[in-house]
Amino acid sequence: MIKLIVFDHDMTIVDSSYAIQAGFNYVARHEGLPEVSHELTMKYIATPIPTFCEGLLGEYRPEWVKLYRECNEKFERELIKPFDDTIPTLKILREMGIKLAVLSNRETPRRVLERTGLDEYFDEIVGALEPFGHLPYKPNPAMMNALLQHFNIPASVTVYVGDADLDIITAIASGVRGIGITKGNFTRPEFRSLGAWKSIDTLSEIIDIVKKDAVSKKK
């Protein structure tokens, strides 16, 4: 029976793609480069910023990353929104008595969760700098291991939901079951090939997964 569900943040419980697009278009305008489309932005979701620069702007320059980060908080505040089924799904899962957490490669993810009002739905929010001190980024399992220890909940009754290969690799490395959500660049077959326990297209599908898992454990 699932007792803890851990979620990645970007493109899992929120759509951050428009904020990312706006940030790179800010850089493009500053540098006199063509603006980038949302479709092209989506192609590079869940890749490192240098890869984003190369894919969207044609090359990587450290000063472009600095420019992007200067405007990033403003665009995130304005444009990051929860997916339509995020809050209804989180409410139901909480009513089912399941502990919920966020685990992100963002250094301090709580701030952005507070801006979207999602922080109130989670029992813990974990980033590379908070709340357990400086920990290695995913796919290193250190953040997940610290979270499991914090809750004193076994990996066997925990799942991790994310939109990228890093999330599934992290889940496997920490012994929890990984669920891939196809909001980013990965398909159901790709998640299966990575070793995901399940794959979903919408967050609300998790409710049935939890119910079926509980029934199977009773048999």
Convert the pLDDT of each residue in 100-131 to its tens digit. Answer: 999 999 999 999 999 999 999 999 999 999 99
Distances (CA, A) of 45 to 16, 49, 93, 164, 173: 9, 10, 27, 9, 22
pTM: 0.95
For 47-51, 82-86, 108-112, which range has the lowest pLDDT when averaged over its residues? 47-51
Q: Across all residues in the chain, what is the average pLDDT?
A: 95
Could you please report the per-residue DSSP string of 4-53? EEEE-SBTTTEE-HHHHHHHHHHHHHHHTPPP--HHHHHHTTTS-HHHHH
Which residue is it, tokens 């909001």?
A: 183
Half-sphere exposure of 148 (CA within 13 A, CB side): 18
| pLDDT surpasses 70 at 219 | no
- In this prediction, residues 176-182 reach a mean pLDDT of 98
pLDDT band, very low/low/confident/very high, at 216 (cuts 50, 70, 90): confident
